[in-house]
Structure 1
Amino acid sequence: MNTPMAGLVAAAAAVQGAWRVSDPGEFTDEQLLATNTALGVLRRRTEAAQAQIAAQLAARSRPGSGPESLARKTGHTSVVDLISTTTGATTGEAMRLVKVGQATAPRPTFGDTPAPPAHPAVGVAVAADRLPVAAAEQIIRLLDRLPASIPADRKTQAEERLVAKLSGLPSDRWHRILVEAHAALDPEGLARREAEVHARRYLRIWEKDQAVHFEGAADAATAAPLVTVLDALVTTSFRTSTDTSGSAADTADTGNVGSSVDADHDGDPGDGTRTDSTGADGTGAAGDTADAAVAAAMLDERTVAQRRLDALMILCRHYLDCAHTGEPTGGATVIVRVNMDDLQEGTGTGTIDGLDQPISIDTIRRIGGTGPVIPMYLGPNKEVLDLGRSQRLFTPAQKLVLYERDGGCAFCGAPPGHTRAHHIYWWARDKGRTDLANGILLCETCHHRIHDNGWDIRIDPAPGARRNATTGPGAHVWFIPPARIDPTRTPRLGGRARHEYAA
């Protein structure tokens, strides 16, 4: 029995074993999770096998083969048409199967011995059920676009790193890692691509069907102020909705009521101290507070897209009414991050908080001193602030330092503008300090997810760090699931180390 077939048989058997009753509505939570996992494995195994078959179909239907083309013999115009028609896949999905299959199969030569696959690491990961075909296709596309001047060994290392990074991540987190990888591998090309995008920037406004329509595109540096301000206004609108109830306002104000995360006092790797999910007074009030916050937020039924448009209108009205001195964005600022050595030497790249696309050193030098922009220069002697228990809320300066370690929501990777700094040890219940070592960035959704489900958090210090070793970019954040989710309670990596390519 060949390997692809063995994998399919094993995956199908796992589904059969997990699906113990005919009606999924009668599954226990454990059975439902096990069946979903087994179906996911079967789907990925099926796609991996389909990619191998697609490569062979393409080889026997290549252009120029005339009547001998297998696709034409079966009445199809192309191999993509054949696959799409017979499997029910879309044209895009069929093209993806062909691309991945061809890139991970041995390449024909003029001799008897085929050449190794163009992307062996991707092929191994797909065959081993560690990487879905969709992720494999994006890695292949990126690597194939790189200039020929980049050494082959560097491309090989990048392929292996991308496979490790994208394995196990949801698809909406791939883009950030891929664009960072592209910039890291081809920083000279980044400035050229930025200039091309900047030259094509536009905003169209037209009227149709009693509506005003908007369409536009811009490079990251041009769009950063707009994205930053709109995100701040949208986040504020959600918090305002939540604050309509007294108890909910308390949660939104501190960001710590009801948090069920704890830290590992003795620093023993893999040993998280689990806490219960009751409130600070042990009565379960925190759960009620979270429920009240969610219920209050639901009173405003605008979608995120609607809130974003309304935020843009707020900005326009604010501009028209210059006498209004309020600060509608809550002091939102564009943060540009760059390594000091890179800035001085003119190498490498930088980032803008809230945007996935890296920016070139040339662009950073151009925008670093303009507008509401704060440049953050990173280096080995970065100053870190610790405020102990002198105040409850983390300061903006502390949050900037936490951004360096977490990159946004440490759990899901959401942009920094969607997060708040939370205490790992609770302020009230555990007498937790408002120190960077006790802080973590979480979006509201993940904060409540961790609270409601009893997750623990552990911070591993950065190797060799002398001061505040848990806050620098080299520190690693680990989320430890409760036993009912993972009986082994295996820690799961978070922060930049999980959600960024270069971390």
Structure 2
Amino acid sequence: MLRSSTQRDRKLVGDRTYVRSVSEVQRVVAGLRAAVDAVLSCSLDRSTAAEVVELLDELENAGCRLPAAQHRALARLQVETSAVQMGAKNWKDVLAIRYRISGSEANRRLSEAALLAPRQSMAGEPLPPVLPATAAAQAQGRITPEHVDVIRKAVDDLPGFVDATTREQFEAEVVRIATGAGPKATRDAAELELFLLDQDGPEPDDADRVRKRGLTKSPQRRDGMTQWRADLTPEAAAVWEAIFAKYAAPGMCNPDDDEPCVSGTPSQAQIDNDHRSLAQRQHDALVAVGRIALMSGELGQLNGLPVTVIVRTTLQDLESRAGIGTTGGGTRLPIRDVIRLGSHASHYLAVFDRATGAALDLFRTRRVASAAQRIMLIARDGGCTKPGCPVGAYGCQVHHVTQDWADGGLTNIDDLGLACPPDNRSVAPGGWTTSMSPRHDVEWTPPPNLDTGQTRINTHHTPERLLRPPDEDEGNDAAAQTHPIGDATEARSPSTSDPSQPGGPAPPDNEAA
């Protein structure tokens, strides 16, 4: 944030440096807002086609130039303060929370600001942007945001052996092309330029391999399938080659067999009856190896619980063998898959009803939540309770909601909630505060810098909460007691249960996890 109205702020655009006072910048921005208001108030009813095209040209040019001002402002903000001082765990969250944009859009803006905004040396001297040609073309309105994205990716694809001078020349050449061609043509030309730069190139080194390694998971589709994409190092590829040679061989780990072979050698009949493709056999091998690892007991603990699959669902769905369950990582599972998982490994079941079980209120006897409490919080919250946070239950800690333990808080189920480690630490004097609503929803109040009147609860993991009627009797939630039990057959279902109750982690009667 800017310190005072007398502070001077340097702006570097191309090879020109402007020095403006903060008050002058504020007047210029006020004039920009007034100009936009004036444009919006104009009527185009009597405009000719040529006049409208000319107007669109001017608006397009202005729209292409404005991001340059945003980049400089973002760069300056990061010099003047920190994300923690703003009340967030990182700069992506600052933008996402304050301007109600997605995390990917916030990352895009920050990445472009880091590459296209003027910089400062350690001594405070102004430095040009990382991509000076792109920044200059953008400030002049000669390239669009799509061109900027193409140029960024093309420069990022340059091999590590390319020197700084060649990198600058490559960027300038791609910018020159972009000023006269569309994004696709620019991308095609950049790819050809990359190929011609060094058709063979040196042998990739360890640094390049480490930079490119990764395993990413796409969002779960409507049909329940999830797409994975991997770039494996030679070592990782060698490991899975050996595993697949054993567990993805014909006849191994075939879910269509009455008794799948997961060890030893499959029978000839199992081999002959295996009609799966190689890709399907490798998928089934991943499932089998993962299940073996979970059942081994050698994976240790995660946030106080053994590493295992934890699923939450309603008791009605469990008894009717219909509906879905949701894992601690957010994956939706058909009930038949939930039952099959439970038959292969030890699992946890928690029912929201009036059954007796392990004590969930520990008062001041201990600071750390018990395993039973963690299970119930996973069932109720599903993941981090801070609004907009996508971290699932597997990555969360137990947070004292109403009052911190150090300040006399109680380790009781109605005083606890799930929070990922960075968000848990963000609750501090002058930062975020939390409270528990009558419906047992954890509410988060932002610090003043981030408070725009946004929602206080997180429905990312529990969208079914949005389906609850606003005038629903809140006393029903408070009356329901939550207790873990060891077997589904011990659960008692009240006669007033409603089979149409939507599944999920909110705690009406007869809810299970």
Shorter-chain-normalised TM-score: which range? 0.3 to 0.5
Tell me the TM-score normalized by structure 1.
0.39
Question: Larger C-alpha radius of gyration, 1 or 2?
Answer: 2
